[in-house]
Homo-oligomer: A and B are copies of this chain.
Amino acid sequence: MSVPTRPKAAYFGAGPALLPTSVLQQASIDLITYLSNPVGVGEISHRSKDAINIIDSTKAHLSEILNIPDTHEVFFLQGGGTTGFSSVATNLLASFAAKTGKKGQPAYAITGTWSKKSYEEAARLGLEPQVATNGINSKFTGIAPVDQWKKLDPETTPYIYYCDNETVNGVEFHAPPVEATCDGKIPLVSDMSSNFLSKKIDVSKFGLIFAGAQKNVGIAGITIYIIRKDLIPQVGTEELNKLNIPITPIAFHYPTVVKNNSAYNTIPIFTVHVLNLVLKNLLANGGLAAQEKENVEKAQLLYGVLDKHPQLFNLPVAKDSRSKMNVVFTINGEGKEEEFVKKAGEQELSGLKGHRSVGGIRASIYNAIDLETVGKLTKFIEEFASA
């Protein structure tokens, strides 16, 4: 039995998504024997020195890659986007209450499926969220300029929430909407689950960033949080009840998690270890600068060939909001999309069907998909267009 190698896959699924093969090979060894011990990394205590080293090393690598300032803290929670947006809502309300004594109404920029779900969860939790902007009438084909968004009041708005990249709709912010924060008075909260570490960001501009690992940085089961430290303290349960703010389940209570270095409850240490290996691999390959450069080239190449055939390919998203991670398009002509997916499959180009809620074609070109693989896809698209 030997650690498998594998041919480079041209798998364009929207996530969970491809990871570097060398990362998985190392993880597969460590799963059985970690640091040459007869115990694997998934079997060690989450309170052991080796586990704490993994947590601390992962935090350090994140800080290095993103140049995270001392004003911010990194922590990890189980879950993904869905646990992320629920926990953001109740934790940041409790933090706002600690600062102001008030409940407030969080604001949401609704620019696609995920921010819509986040808004709906805030409403379900009884938070009476404000709508900063809503792209549903234009079917999430672009983002309204921030100066056209609702003007928010920092006195009553605990945070402004947006999704940096909408995986389903292929809509991405080309710059974070900092203008919506009233000169930084309202914390900016960003769900970066599907474009985390795809480009440089200025962490100091954010109150909170969270990202499920399973697109660009790992396997499913862990979410990265980067929070501005002044947003950590919260009021206690008595005050929460008085203000009618939902109590966060203890495993997702940010002050408890931060105080326990992300190991209040059992942290899935194998999953964190895979994340750490991805981060090391990114650093070894030039860091975020090199990764962003390649991601820009990949997106230019793919959008370029699609734009060359406007009679065949329909790109619904406005150019200034096109995602560099999830390239979404439809194909004109009866049965053409099925034909596209089928013929692509024959060339081992897979994972191209659009999300079941919107249909069409979606090519997800996350960090682990290199320029060469995107080149294979664009070659196929050219052939398809000229057939």
Residues of A within 8 A of B (CB): 1-9, 11, 13-19, 21, 24-25, 27-29, 31-33, 37-40, 42-48, 78-83, 86-87, 90, 121, 124-126, 212, 214, 219-222, 237, 241, 246-247, 249-252, 264-271, 274, 351, 356
Contact = CB atoms under 8 A, between A and B. Distances in A.
A246 B13 CA distance: 37
B219 A249 contact: no
A4 B32 contact: yes
Nearest to A86: B249
Given A28-B28, A83-B249, A124-B247, A38 B268 contact: no
A6 B32 contact: yes
16 contacts: A1-B29, A2-B2, A2-B3, A5-B32, A6-B33, A8-B38, A9-B39, A15-B266, A47-B356, A79-B79, A79-B251, A81-B266, A90-B249, A121-B250, A221-B268, A268-B268
Contacts of A16: 42-46, 266, 269
Interface of A: prevailing SS:
loop
Counting every copy of the chain, the complex holds 2
Contact of A45 (B13, B264, B271): B13
**10 closest cross-chain pairs (CB), A and B:** A221-B268, A28-B28, A42-B219, A82-B265, A86-B249, A9-B38, A6-B38, A220-B268, A2-B2, A82-B251
